[in-house]
Amino acid sequence: MPAQIPATALQLQSLVRADQVVELFLATVEVPEPGPDEVIIRVGAAPINPSDLGLLLAGADLDAAVFAGSADRPVVTAPLPEAAMRAMQGRVGVPMPVGNEGAGTVVAAGSAAAASALLGKTVAAAGGGMYSEYRCVPASLCLELPDGTSEFDGASSFVNPLTALGMVETMRLERHVALVHTAAASNLGQMLNRLCIAEQVPLVNIVRRQEQDELLRSAGASYVCNSTSAAFMDELTDALTATSATLAFDATGGGRLASQILTCMEAAATAAAGSYSRYGSAVHKQVYIYGSLDRGPTELTRNFGMAWGVGGWLLTPFLQRIGPDGIERLRRRVAAELTTTFASSYTDQVSLAGALQPGAVAGYARQATGSKYLIVPSG
Amino acid sequence: MPAQIPATALQLQSLVRADQVVELFLATVEVPEPGPDEVIIRVGAAPINPSDLGLLLAGADLDAAVFAGSADRPVVTAPLPEAAMRAMQGRVGVPMPVGNEGAGTVVAAGSAAAASALLGKTVAAAGGGMYSEYRCVPASLCLELPDGTSEFDGASSFVNPLTALGMVETMRLERHVALVHTAAASNLGQMLNRLCIAEQVPLVNIVRRQEQDELLRSAGASYVCNSTSAAFMDELTDALTATSATLAFDATGGGRLASQILTCMEAAATAAAGSYSRYGSAVHKQVYIYGSLDRGPTELTRNFGMAWGVGGWLLTPFLQRIGPDGIERLRRRVAAELTTTFASSYTDQVSLAGALQPGAVAGYARQATGSKYLIVPSG
């Protein structure tokens, strides 16, 4: 092991305790010797994605969080509601490293060609546990970044880019011709907007605020509907009629938004069909829920005929569906367009210890569209 | 046209009027000369299925129904709520014949071989408008019944038998190994129970009353769960664990039953997996809603991971999916087992005029499991 690599490093961990409390803290973990197919990454930047929050926060009640420990070794504890605790039974007593993805420099590598080729390179990695100063991961989980790409630019190379690509690919696999996206002003939403423009896929963006409407339109969006507008249902139906979109990806999950989208899709399909059908239109209308910004129940009014589906959508099963060749194709594209189509932006940058300060926890737990945290472990 | 066929016949029709009222009445319609590929059926028996009620009642408020007309020409009128009226725009002012299926005797036939071969035969027909004394339908929509089968036995040869078969076929097409069925003591449910026993497909029956539990168990059911029981979730989870059922067909639609089924499927899958997975089990869990006994919204709590789907299921698209050969295979099986596996029973038998009397309308509109009406148009 070269001298500049420490024997131990800090890692952010989340522990669900048997006393129904989640505890967030910085653990000191060993930096191992990499195996033949592994590399050691000095992590430069790792985003806090909504998909990290389930593992990190475990559904805790953060209004009752207690912040303790020292400035460089903070400890956050928060109680878990009964329902969250039931769902977490499988991880009680097991400290979990957190952070789906990040980017950094390969400072040590195993003997296998695929690993040793990465030594000294800037890579992105979907390795899990990326909220760490150093992280040992299989070389196969790394994406070598083009020369000159910074760790900052590469931090979000997987989750959002592959999700945006996955939405467009799913649309094609399931024979739809256009997309609807909610929480559309998010980092992912802006990325999807750029991707759909590049791919000439009509995209109906659903937002909640006027400035989000303006942000997307200034980025070239043709269809933006504000769900808080009194004319929302009519405006959405018009956009669906114009685009023939019959597939939506919904980040909110709870409430009636998925149902409203299906209702408007059915109105658009019925208008296009021109005649009455007792079971509604024959056009299949699909909403995939991929997030849970609203944790309340999904309410479906079912006034949209019988040709509809609502389901969960997750990146990993999608990647399994397209297989290794499909994944490789998407990874190459992400690497090539990391600072254009797939660029991310962050509103807040924190150290590992900074990620456990009250303001930061409240900030990322709120999941407000437009707010995005980047952890800089070696910062 | 032979002398015994009248020039006109009575037909039950449903009209949505522009003044937001549905009107049910007996129209006098012409009995046409059959085209080359058509036959004229003197309808002997036609069931009132839940799938007929949407067209017949149009979502009217039957508590406010007015019964007028004469004993042999009754007229029922009932107001349509605003939401129902919006959904019915396509049929305003157009009287609709009703009755998906029925059975009768072919009393006239066109010149084509397929039509003329049916002359004098007892047939079942999925012709629509079967609440008629005489009905002209394409010969291709007829199922010739085995010698000795009565019109009574043949009345329900399509909707319920093909739906039960469709559930089992869908299970196989979508790679599930067992089924869950709600409102399981219905005519369809009893049929599915017999079919699953014959096919050795594990079936979890969900009912609401103790006597329905007993009815199904006395018919050989292995798994019956009562959704009104305090231990329902535990009992359902146990049945799902025992059967590995990950596909449910739900007749209720509204409320939380679909969500509860998914929750219990996830509990069974998680217990089987044995280890914690942050996004829930990878096992895909599916609920198809094929009825709407509860017209309220479907509420999904989403505490069942990400690998799930809920959607509408309808017989016609399923039949399109399996194609003409598949349909023919299922039709033959139904004809052969019409008085055994696919036998139906009726609690009430009414004439066309009798179907528009207050007691009958209240009876079938209630859609109580165990109550089933048969219209006998020539009775």
DSSP A166-215: HHHHHHHHTT-S-EEEESTTSHHHHHHHHHHHHHT--EEEEESSHHHHHH
Can you tell me the distance from the alpha carbon of B297 to that of B274, in angstroms, rounded to the nearest whole number?
A: 34
A contact residues 59-88, partner B, Cβ 8 Å cutoff = 83, 87-88
Band (pLDDT 50/70/90 cuts) for residue A273 is: confident
Q: Which residue has the higher pLDDT, B275 or B342?
A: B342
- Whether the pLDDT of residue A158 is over 60: the answer is yes
Paired strand residues for B45: B103
> What mean pLDDT comes out for the span A9-13?
97
**Contact assignment for B275 to A317 by CB distance below 8 Å:** no
Residue A163 · residue A142 · CB < 8 Å = no
Contact B298 A303 (CB under 8 A): no
Residue A242 pLDDT exceeds 80: yes
Supply A235's token pair.
């405006």
Residues of A in contact with B316 (CB under 8 A): 279
Q: Which segments of B58-181 does DSSP mark as H helices, in order?
A: 82-87, 113-116, 151-154, 159-173
d(CA B367, CA A136): 62
> Considering only alpha carbons, which residue of chain B is nearest residue A58?
B278
Q: What is the mean pLDDT of residues B171-194?
A: 97
Q: Among A148-157, A350-359, B32-41, B263-272, which is the least confidently predicted range?
A: B263-272
pLDDT of residue B74 exceeding 90, the answer is yes
Nearest to A312 among B87, B290, B306 (CB): B306
Pairwise CA distance, residues B317 & B73, whole Å: 37
A43 and A134 Cβ atoms separated by less than 8 Å: yes
Cβ of residue B254 closer than 8 Å to a chain A Cβ: yes
Nearest to A305 among B254, B300, B312 (CB): B312
**Residue pLDDT, tens place only, A27-79:** 999 999 999 999 999 999 999 998 899 899 999 999 999 999 999 999 999 99
| Residues of chain B found within 8 Å of residue A88, distances taken between Cβ atoms | 276
- pLDDT higher than threshold 90 for residue A153: yes
Nearest to A194 by CA among A163, A167, A216, A211: A216
Q: Do B300 and A303 touch (CB under 8 A)?
A: no
**Is B310 or B279 the better-scoring residue by pLDDT?**
B310
Residues of A in Cβ contact (< 8 Å) with B290: 306
Can you read off the two tokens belonging to residue A72? 């460089």
pLDDT of residue B126 exceeding 60, the answer is yes
Q: What is the mean pLDDT of residues B12-32?
A: 97
| Closest-approach residue (CA) in chain B for A317 | B282
Q: Using CB atoms, which residue from B90, B310, B317 is nearest to A310?
A: B310
- What's the pLDDT at A2? 54
- Tell me what the mean pLDDT of segment B113-133 comes to: 96
pLDDT band per the 50, 70, 90 thresholds, residue A272:
confident
Q: List CB contacts (< 8 A) between B303 and chain A.
A: 83, 87
Residue A276 pLDDT grade (very low, low, confident, very high; cuts 50, 70, 90): low
pLDDT of residue B1: 46
Q: What's the pLDDT band for B86 if we cut at 50, 70, 90?
A: confident
Grade residue B353 by pLDDT with cuts at 50, 70 and 90. Answer: very high
Q: Which long-range contacts (CB under 8 A, 24 or more apart) does B23-29 make?
A: B23/B75, B23/B76, B23/B77, B24/B56, B24/B75, B24/B76, B24/B77, B24/B356, B24/B361, B25/B69, B25/B73, B25/B74, B25/B75, B25/B76, B25/B356, B26/B72, B26/B73, B26/B74, B26/B352, B26/B353, B26/B356, B27/B95, B29/B97, B29/B132
Interface contact B254-A94, CB threshold 8 A = no
Going A197 to A198 to A202 to A204, the CA torsion angle's sign is negative
The pLDDT value recorded for residue A367 is: 81
pLDDT value at position A370?
Answer: 77
Q: pLDDT class for A237, splitting at 50, 70, 90? A: very high
Amino acid at A335: A
What is the spatial distance between Cα B286 and Cα A310, in angstroms, rounded to a whole number?
10
**What ranges in B159-300 are assigned the alpha helix state H?**
159-173, 187-199, 210-218, 232-243, 257-273
pLDDT, residue B273, reads: 75
Sole residue written with tokens 């049945």: B239
Global ipTM: 0.90
B222: pLDDT strictly greater than 80? yes
